[in-house]
Amino acid sequence: MDKIFYILAALTLIAAFMVVISRHPIRSVLFLVATFFLISAQYILLNAQFLALVNIIVYAGAIMVLFLFVIMFLNLSRDLERFASWMPIAAAGISVGGIGLLLLASYRGAQISTDTVGNYDSGLVEQIGEVLYRDYLFPMEVCSVLFLVAMIGIVLLNRKERELPAKLPLP
Amino acid sequence: MSELTFKIIFIVAIFGISLFVAMYTTYAERKLAAFLQDRLGPNRAGPFGLLQPLADGVKLFFKEEFIPRVSDRILFIAGPAIFMCTALMTSAVIPFAPDLEINGTTYSMQAADLNVGILYLFGVVSLGVYGILVGGWASNNKFSLLGAIRAASQNISYELAMGLSIVSLVMVSSSLSLRDIVDQQSGWSWNIIYQPLGFLIFIVCAFAETNRAPFDLPECETELIGGYHTEFSSMKLGLYLFAEYIHVFISSAVLASLYFGGYQFPYVSDLDPGLVKTLLGGLVMFAKTGFFIFLFIWIRWTLPRFRYDQLMNLGWKVLIPLAVLNVLITALFILI
Amino acid sequence: MNHIPEIIRTIPLSHYVALSSALFLIGLLGVLIRKNIIIVFMCIEIMLNAVNLLMVAAASYRGDSAGQVMVLFTMAVAAAEVSVGLAIIVMIYKNLKTTNIDLFDQMKG
Amino acid sequence: MNPELILHLILWPPLAGFLINGVFGARMPKWLVSTIACFSPLLSFAASVAAYIQLAGQATTVKLYTWFVGEGSAIVDFSFLIDNLSIVMLFVVTGVGTLIHVYSIGYMSGDRGFHRFFAYLNLFVFFMLLLVLGSNLVVLFAGWEGVGLCSFLLIGFWYDNLEYNRAASKAFVMNRIGDLAFLVAIFLTIYTTGAVSFADLHDTMTNDVRINDPAYVAISLLFFIGVCGKSAQIPLFTWLPDAMAGPTPVSALIHAATMVTAGIYLIARMHFMYDLVPVTQLVIGITGCLTALVAATIALKQNDIKKILAYSTVSQLGFMAVALAAGAYITAIFHLVTHSFFKALLFLGAGSVIHGLHGEQDIRQMGGLRHKMRWTYGVMLVGTIAIAGLPPLSGFFSKDEILTAVHSHNMGFFIALALASAFTAWYMFRMFASVFHGAFRGKNETWEHVHEAPWSMRGPLVVLAVLSLAGGLLGLPAITGQSHRLYNFLVPAIVQPKISASHAFEYALWGISLAVILTLLVICFKRYGSSGPSVPSVTPSFFERLLVNKYFIDEIYERLFVHPLKIAGSWLMHRGDYGIIDRVVHFPGKVVESGAFALRNLQDGKLSSYLLYSVVALLIFLTLFLIF
């Protein structure tokens, strides 16, 4: 049964990798949606059902639709993008490899405790709600303010500039 | 019969029922439309034209498979598939009947009793947009793209009001599990009594989410020819059309479960758990669902189509404020 | 549904760490080698999700809901960030008629 | 009233006036600006009267706070000394100051910088009060520098005239030379005595009497160089005539009545030290005599009404310096007071004339003004007689006292001063006759518009005329049988024997001077009364050329100091500054610049590059995090 995890993990990584290497933006988006689905599945495995569904609703249902929207709107599919030339790719490869090595090194050095606490309900909506509204009420309010600000910002960003009259009326 | 086997059988059954209901919804739609327009409707295939849906299906299967040359082939095929899948996935959390107890084992008449069932409903419904968007975009057709974008923005907009109306429902029932919500409404104590405004908002949103008239702008023939499925033919078109009817069925079922007590009915609720109760409950559930399907069809053939800006105005400027107001009122009542 | 997690518990947490690290690196790679800014943006989302995954795993193993609440906040902020970011991208596209990140060369101080 | 309150009332109103007028003046109506400007010194004057009533005869020190503790043990307080000497100076500063403020309302009424002018004037009064009241050398120096600043600001008041700006800079630079010496003197004082307040210095120096102690000689000489700068003694006097570029009230207040006498005040304040150093006294005496003579002779041939008065001021300051050299400190102060009366009167009168003639300053273009400017004529007559030294006006008594004191001290000085006072009478009568008598020599349309000054100007003139008339009553000589009031008043502050001479000498002096002055009066009126100053002859004699060109002192300075300095400066600029210092200074800059140019390529404005940089930075930080 624990094979599920490894299968899902492999699929997740493949999907994520496909996001990176797909030359077609729409395919990238769809692979990303798949990635999110797989990650949600991981959440369900971890008994974090609430977060799994929130992940789907927020990322797959809202954020990715926005991406899809923008890509379709800008009609970017016309020109299939060429990747960066070899220099940036080499730089990127080196830096990513470096960070990977570092992560590996720190992972070797880290003491990851293997003992688990038997609270299976920590991912349930009641538990999360309690913690959220008891300990993290203020950050949540701040989040709502953040959304308000983001909303206003977007409206302002995309507001059409009021056009000036071509000629000033003569007095 | 192990639980898993039962689950598999049950899921297959639900799929079958969904498809069957959807199939005959098309029949009902045409019959009712004919009735409302003082016609006869389909009456050739079988008695009263009852075999008409089958005939339609066969016709669609044998039509020419046409994929435009300039389209994105994979996505063009993926679009209707995604749409159909998401439509069918929705039924997983709907409790169709009371639990059945035979020989001490309990058989749940529900594919999955998620404790966050409503969220699941939401997630899957919001995914339905992908089917439309992908299909519409892959057609590489102006009208399809416009239809797809209309559908997507319509769905997203109305999801908000829908979510808010459900928030107040959840506040009343204090559970996200559909099973719990249905169980709470035994007898006559249906949620419609506590949430009349929420119900109204929900049903309007349900019409918009299913892209049904009067909100069927994404496929508005007069403006966009056929909307997102302009370029589709054969069974791919069939999937789109069919999925829409499945959406109607599921929406009706959800409406029945959330606001009209699902399988709960006076007398039925008081029965002891058992085969009788399960059967009666299922009957009640399907009766209520049938009523809502009828409502869907009735409204489609009665009301004229909205204009797109009217639709958006209704969604953002009327329904969302109303839903927020509803949440506030509910909170007030809960406090008192 | 509690029997699935119990089986999953046989998997050490370190495997989750490895998975999310790999996911993070893939996202990072995408950020660096892709030229379409929207894809870059999406790769950033992958990185965010990698972090989220690790956090959920840790929270789940520790039986502490606070970690999941944090993930909730991450998602909220990500949603706001994406909406603003996409709005900016659309504006840039309107002005420059491109989404090629190499052509965004007007950020000189 | 307690002394601290009195002090606050004296000191702060002018500063407040400066702040109000300086900050808000541009937006306030003129009547409000002038009211504030005139009332602030008036308030100080009233407070000075209160100080006179309450505190006369006792030296009161008011300490506000400890300013800083100097090297060693010299504690420098921000404290003030009100004794009889400062009270006399207070009266001069605030009294004459107030009158000149009132006068300025009329004189400056048409000027764009009206509020600026009054703000500067108030600031000047404040610094002057700081100077006069300071109980130690440091506070005094603060005031000293402040008045220098105000002098600079006011000389260059009409800043759109380049010539005026040059004059302002010249004054400032020359004062700097003196101020440097002053500062070194303060350091030396602190170094040798460890004290900085006058009371402590007095105690130290009178306890330990060392005549011609080298340290004291050095200090006193350095102080005297400072005095030379501020009080326009040879060799640092050339700035004062040029300072006439400022508005006339400024010349009256700063460059005649108050600021230039600060040096005299300083030496009077430090008299206990100068008593100990006869060498310095001799130097002061010689310098003073030379100054008095040189300036008086230059004034003989000047044609600019204000320049004549400026040289006259220099000359009179020389008189005071000689009096100081003779140990007659009170006499010097007496002359300072009377001089402030009549010289302010003369300047203001000259201002009235200039005002009436719309800016004409050349006495060759004047004449016969007594018909049109009766008031000015009257007050100028009083002033001229006072400075010329006819009894019983104030100038007569003070100058007579100086001569008496010098006579018993050093015969050479006496002769020089007698000569100088004869010259004084000559150039004053020459000026007076040329301006007011005879026929008008300017343009006809100017004559048409000649008018008497408004009352705001006439009022102060009349008050000053009365003071000039009666100022001598402060210090009547012994032969009149009256007591010397100023002497009696100042003796607690300045310890000094009474000046006395034989009656025969006194009468002889009076008689001779009266005879000489009257003779000069007659000659002058005959010579200049009708035709004004003569046109320079075609072949001027050597002396004439010398006098007209002010002994070529400016030119000599130009050759002797400025030119070599310029050459050395430009050499240093090219070789030293550009060649060495700039290279040294620019080297790190060049390194940074070239490094920045190299690094600049990193900031190419490309989003993709920035993303890469941030990842690299992450890499680096992670590495560091891992290592440490």
Residue C94 Cα distances to B237, B328, C83, D162, angstroms: 35, 41, 17, 58
For D81, D82, D83, D202, the CA distances from D199, given in Å and listed in that order, are 9, 12, 11, 5
Among candidate residues D557, D536, D538, D558, the one with its CA nearest the CA of residue D547: D536
| Residue B249, domain extent | 63-335
- Classify A79 in phi/psi space as left (phi over 0), alpha (psi -120 to 50) or beta: beta
Task: Choose the closest CB to A60 out of B116, B127, B134.
Answer: B127
Better-predicted residue by pLDDT, B196 or D500: B196
Task: Please check whether residue B57 lies inside any domain of the structure.
Answer: no
Q: Where residue C44 sits, what CATH number does that domain have?
A: 1.10.287.3510
- Tokens 């001077």 appear where? D513
CA distance B246 to B242: 6
Kindly list the residues from chain D whose CB atom is less than 8 angstroms away from the CB atom of residue A88.
608, 612
Asked if the Cβ–Cβ distance from A103 to C21 is below 8 Å, we say yes
Phi first, then psi: give them for residue B106, nearest 5 degrees.
-100, 125
Query: Is residue B251 in some structural domain?
Result: yes
Q: Round to whole Å and give the CA distance between D9 and D45.
A: 9
D135 burial class (0-12, 13-18, 19+ CB within 10 angstroms)? Answer: buried
d(CA D92, CA D86): 10
Q: How many CB pairs under 8 A join A and D?
A: 24
* Number of domains forming the structure of chain B: 1
In a domain, residue B318? The reply is: yes
Q: Which residues of A touch C98 (CB under 8 A)?
A: none
Same domain as A7, residue A65:
yes
Give dist(CA D262, CA D268) in Å, integer.
10
Q: Residue A15 belongs to a domain with what CATH number?
A: 1.20.120.1200
Dist CA D603 CA D109 (whole Å): 60
Counting the structural domains of chain A, the total is 2
What's the mean pLDDT when you consider all of chain A? 79
Tell me the two tokens of residue B151: 């559908």
Q: Rounded to a whole number, what is the distance in Å from the CA of D619 to chain A's nearest CA?
A: 6
Q: Do A53 and B145 touch (CB under 8 A)?
A: no
Least confident of B254-263, B317-326, D543-552: D543-552
Asked whether residue A57 falls in the same domain as residue A1, the answer is: yes
Residue D587 to residues A105, D460, D527, D581, D582, Cα–Cα distance (Å): 44, 63, 71, 10, 8
Provide the 10 A C-beta neighbour count for residue D172. 18
Angle value at C-alpha B133, between C80 and B308, nearest 5 degrees:
80
- A43, A77, A111 — which closes off a domain? A77
Q: Taking the C-alpha atoms of D184, D188, D191 and D197 in order, what is their torsion angle to the nearest 10 degrees?
A: -90
Q: What is the mean pLDDT of residues A87-116?
A: 74
Task: State yes or no: pLDDT of B166 exceeds 50.
Answer: yes
Nearest to D618 among A88, A99, A106 (CB): A99
User: How many angstroms separate the CA of residue D627 from the nearest CA in chain C?
Assistant: 20
Query: Which residues 24-43 in chain C show a CB within 8 A of chain A?
Result: 24-30, 32-36, 38-39, 41-43
Q: What share of chain C is helix, strand, coil (3-state, %, to 5)?
A: 80, 0, 15
Query: B161 φ, ψ to 5°?
Result: -60, -40
Of the two residues B143 and D180, the one the predictor is more confident about is: D180
Higher-confidence residue: B269 or C27? C27
Residue B96 DSSP SS3: coil
- By the CB < 8 Å criterion, does C23 face chain A? yes
Given an 8 Å threshold on Cβ–Cβ distance, is B126 in contact with A60?
yes
For D483, phi and psi rounded to 5 degrees? Answer: -85, 150
Q: Is residue C109 in a domain?
A: no
Residue D243 · residue D315 · CB < 8 Å: no
Contact D608, A88 (CB under 8 A): yes
Residue C108 in any domain: the answer is: no
Is-contact B87 B247, C-beta < 8 A? yes
As a whole number of angstroms, the distance between CA B19 and CA B13 comes to 10
- The sign of the dihedral angle between the CA atoms of A76, A82, A87, A92 is positive
Please tell me the distance from the alpha carbon of residue C78 to that of residue D81, in angstroms, as a whole number: 73
Taking the Cβ of residue C56 and every Cβ of chain A, the question of whether any pair is shorter than 8 Å is answered with yes
Residue at A88 is within a domain: no
Domain extent for A2? 1-77
ipTM of the complex as predicted = 0.72
Q: Which helix (H) or strand (E) holds D65?
A: strand D60-69
pLDDT at residue A145, as a whole number:
92
Residues paired with residue D62 on neighbouring β-strands, in sequence order: D80
How far is the alpha carbon of A131 from chain D, nearest alpha carbon, in Å?
32
The torsion of the CA quartet D386, D389, D391, D394, rounded to 10 degrees, works out to 50
Q: Mapping DSSP to helix (H, G, I), strand (E, B) and coil, where does residue B105 land?
A: strand
Query: C45, C47, C54, C55: which is closest to C78 by C-alpha?
Result: C45
Best to test chain C binding among A7, A19, A21 (most C CBs inside 10 Å) = A19
Contact C15 A9 (CB under 8 A): yes
Where is average pLDDT lowest: B279-283, B308-312, C104-108?
Answer: C104-108
pLDDT block averages, 10 residues each, chain D of length 628: 85 91 87 89 91 82 82 78 88 90 86 88 92 89 90 88 88 88 89 84 82 86 89 85 85 85 89 87 90 88 87 90 88 89 89 84 81 86 86 83 85 88 88 84 79 83 87 77 79 77 81 86 80 61 74 81 87 85 87 87 76 84 81
Q: Residue A84: what residue type?
A: A
**Through-space distance between the first and last CA atoms of chain B, rounded to whole angstroms:** 49
CB burial of residue A169 (10 Å; 0-12, 13-18, 19+) = exposed
Q: Return the number of other C-beta atoms located less than 10 Å from residue B164's C-beta.
A: 22
Residue D603 to chain C, least CA–CA distance (Å): 6
The alpha-carbon gap from A138 to the nearest alpha carbon of chain C, in Å, equals 12
Q: Is residue B128 part of a domain?
A: yes
The phi and psi torsions of B107 (rounded to 5 degrees) equal -110, 115
Q: Mean pLDDT over all residues of chain C?
A: 81
- Name the nearest CA neighbour of D10 among D81, D85, D116, D99: D81
Mark yes or no for CB contact B126/A62 under 8 Å: yes
Q: Are residues A71 and A131 in the same domain?
A: no
Is A99 a member of any domain?
no
Cα separation, D242 vs D66, whole angstroms: 39
pLDDT of residue D184: 92
pLDDT in tens, C8-60: 667 777 888 888 888 988 888 888 888 788 888 888 899 999 999 988 888 88
Name the packing angle between helices D411-436 and D278-300 (round to 10°).
Answer: 30
| B18 is a domain residue | no
Does residue C8 sit within a domain? Answer: yes
- The CA distance from A63 to A72, in Å, is 14
d(CA B325, CA B198): 10
Whether B17 is covered by a domain: the verdict is no
Q: What are phi and psi of A37, to 5 degrees?
A: -60, -45
CB distance D217 to D277 below 8 Å: yes
D200 CB contacts (<8 Å, ≥6 apart)?
D193
Residue B45 placed within a domain: no
Q: Which residue has the tokens 């518990």?
A: C9
Whole-number Å distance between alpha carbons of D497 and D490: 12
The residue range of the domain holding C58 is 3-103
Query: Is A54 in Cβ contact with B126 (below 8 Å)?
Result: no
Residues facing residue D197 across a β-bridge: D136
Q: CA–CA separation, B295 vs B256, rounded Å?
A: 12
Write the residue in D603, D604, D612 that is nearest to C32 by C-beta.
Answer: D612
Residue A79 — pLDDT band, cuts 50, 70, 90?
A: low
Rounded distance, CA A102 to CA C21, Å? Answer: 11
Neighbors of chain D by Cβ distance (3+ pairs < 8 Å): A, C
In a domain, A98, yes or no: no
Query: For B152-201, what is the HEC assignment?
Result: HHHHHHHHHHHHHHHHHHHHHHCCCCHHHHHHHCCCCCCHHHHCHHHHHH
Orientation angle between helical segments D162-193 and D137-155, nearest 10 degrees: 170
* Residue C66 resides in a domain: yes
Nearest 5°: the CA angle D272, D278, D280 is: 90
In-domain check, residue B191:
yes
Q: Is residue D60 classed as helix, strand or coil in its secondary structure?
A: strand
* Chain C interface, best mutation among A13, A20, A159, by max C CB count within 10 A: A20
Sequence-separated (6 or more) residues with CB below 8 Å from residue B132: B79, B83, B147, B148, B151, B152, B155, B218, B228
Which residues does chain A have within 8 Å of residue B152's beta carbon, measured at their own beta carbons? Answer: 65, 68-69
What pLDDT band is residue C1 in, cutting at 50, 70 and 90? Answer: very low
